[in-house]
Amino acid sequence: DAVINNYSANNYEKIVRQIQILNEDYRKISGTNGFGGGVDTQIEFCLATKSPDGSITDGITKIYGALPVWDINAESTQNNSDYALKHLRHWPEDRYLNLYVAQLEQLTNDDGSKSDLLGYGTFPSELSSYPDLDGGVISDKYFGDNNYNSAFGKGRTLTHEVGHWLN
């Protein structure tokens, strides 16, 4: 997991809660929002305890600094925000789910109105061409158990994006 800017103890609690929400959703745990429709996928998530080099880690990479203007549709080059973000810290995609929490841009709709970019996940079919772009990116506004927007908060946005990653 990579957190861009403003890391604090509160962020750690949000990260732990977000992983709990993923497990509630993917394991269909009774008494949680994840118990709705669907099935128990028997997939569980946790923070990494060992980094790719074998050293002990809390599974969280804290990165401080600004990213370039976000352009999700740009070519996959060093000038693309997605590429730049994922090259700050990327762990092998065959052993880790790389998740990135960042401040994402607002999108301009066809009618000129603005809407938030909530997040996105890499589909498995994209990995043969771009293995180092693996993972999911989520807006800090929609990460964790929050009330920012009842339709997209409560940690369900990342559940959706991880669903793309799982295909």
Q: Which residues are catalytic?
A: 161
Give the contacts of 40 (CB within 8 A, at least 6 positions apart).
26, 27, 28
What is the Cα–Cα distance from 96 to 166, expressed in whole angstroms? 12
Helix (H) or strand (E) holding 10: helix 9-26
Task: Work out the widest C-alpha separation in the chain, in whole angstroms.
Answer: 51
What is the Cα–Cα distance from 83 to 8, expressed in whole angstroms? 25
What is the Cα–Cα distance from 145 to 147, expressed in whole angstroms? 7
What is the Cα–Cα distance from 97 to 162, expressed in whole angstroms? 9
Apex CA 13: angle with CA 32 and CA 8, to 5°? 155
